Amino acid sequence: MEGKVEALFRNPSGILSSDAPGNDIAISSRVRLARNPADRMFPLRESEDERREFAAEVAAAVPEIERLGGADALVFDPEHMGAIEREVLLERYLASREFNARPEGALLAVRPDERASLMVNEDDALRIQCLRPGFQLDEAWEEASALDDELGSVFKYAFDEKLGFLTADPTNVGTGMRASVMLHLPGLVLTNQIASAVAAVGKLNIAVRGLYGEGSENLGNMYQVSNQSTLGESEKQIIDRLGAVVSQLVEREENTRKLLMERDQHGMLDVIGRSYGVLKHSHRLSSEEALKCLSGVRLGVDMRLFKSLDVDRVNTVFMAISPAHLQKRAGRELDQSERDVCRAAFCREHLN
């Protein structure tokens, strides 16, 4: 059976694509809007059956919502999916941990290009998400806003004239918006500048987190930079402020890379070469080491050091070696040791 997850599985991921502006350092941009219907409780206050009822309502509306792909939208029912397939959605940034933890009455609608999606009955009843490759915060925001308009014409949102949109978590009240950019910052990490950069940004109410969000440490030198406040500014103001910070970080990373190449070319080539050597020749590879090495190879690709490797290839491997993707590919559960062997085999085969 060729399922919906398989359909997604054929692509590296809609958000990881080389045809994007500034995709050397800014990997992807995301805007997420939290919305709730005025006539319902927040999902956590509802019974499973109430949640299922609302999910069915949304499922019925999806084919009419153009920005989700209309009739082509992929609709997932987590309750009737296996754990590995749900995890695949998480690894593709389409589902959240909270969403996967509570599949009863949950629903996910995804546009086939994966750049627009809708989680139903996560902490909020509706979570709109728009993803874009590279540094495209404005575009992601415009897309999310348009999808929001479409949905808003179907569901009457809980909205307070003074506060704005009402959300399950009070830190989302107001715009209900969380915007973020994923940055690849190996230069700042190599030169021990990352801690001071994170601290400086924190003062601007901008948060920096690891690859998989809150609490996750530095994996593969990837950092999610996102707005912390959702009140007191318009969405555009938040996006602009976040964009300015991202631009600064990107510039700092660029300058650091140039400096490193000037001051220690052999050291840089060594980091990049060894990263490639491990990916190309190891037979056991942990997720952490693989991401670290992919960071080195990505840096080399950015610097045009590889003849036959491009960023699309790096992105394909980046996504494919995630634990659930490996298991989905193998067609069965794999323990960690088996995953490490499969991960190494995939890298050896696909990094030419």
Six token digits for residue 92? 């593709």
344 near a second copy (CB under 8 A): yes
Task: State whether residue 178 is helix, strand or coil.
Answer: strand
Question: 250: closest CA among 350, 330, 167, 134?
Answer: 134
In whole angstroms, the minimum distance from the beta carbon of 267 to a second copy comes to: 7
> For the chain, how are helix, strand and coil distributed in percent, rounded to 5?
50, 15, 35
Q: Does 307 bind a second copy (CB under 8 A)?
A: no
Indicate the angle between helix axes 323-330 and 83-91, nearest 10 degrees: 130
Q: Of residues 37, 82, 243, 273, which one binds a second copy by CB under 8 A?
A: 273
Q: 163 phi and psi, to 5 degrees?
A: -85, -35
Instruction: Count CA atoms within 13 Å of residue 255 on its CB side.
Output: 7
For a second copy, which residue of 21, 71, 281, 310 counts as binding (CB under 8 A)?
A: 281
Choice between 182 and 290, CB closer to a second copy: 290
Nearer of residues 166 and 271 to a second copy, judged by Cβ:
271
Q: Which part of the chain contacts a second copy (CB under 8 A), choosing from 164-172, 251-259, 278-286, 314-322?
A: 278-286
User: Residue 267, interface with a second copy (CB under 8 A)?
Assistant: yes
Give the helix ranges, DSSP H, for the chain: 4-9, 48-61, 83-91, 97-101, 137-154, 186-190, 194-202, 235-263, 265-281, 287-302, 311-320, 323-330, 336-350
- Least distance to a second copy from the beta carbon of 309, Å? 13
Size of the site for a second copy (CB under 8 A): 17
* Residue 168 three-state SS: coil
Q: Which of 284, 288, 333, 349 binds a second copy (CB under 8 A)?
A: 284
274 binds a second copy (CB under 8 A): yes
**295 makes contact with a second copy (CB under 8 A):** no
Q: Which of 89, 278, 294, 321 lies at the binding interface for a second copy (CB under 8 A)? A: 278
Q: Is residue 349 part of the contact set for a second copy (CB under 8 A)?
A: no
**Is residue 280 a contact point for a second copy (CB under 8 A)?**
yes
Judged by beta carbon, residue 217 or residue 262, the one nearer a second copy is: 262
Closest Cα partner for 97 from 28, 222, 106, 168? 106
Residues at the site binding a second copy, with contacts judged by CB under 8 A: 266-267, 269-270, 273-274, 276-278, 280-284, 341, 344, 348
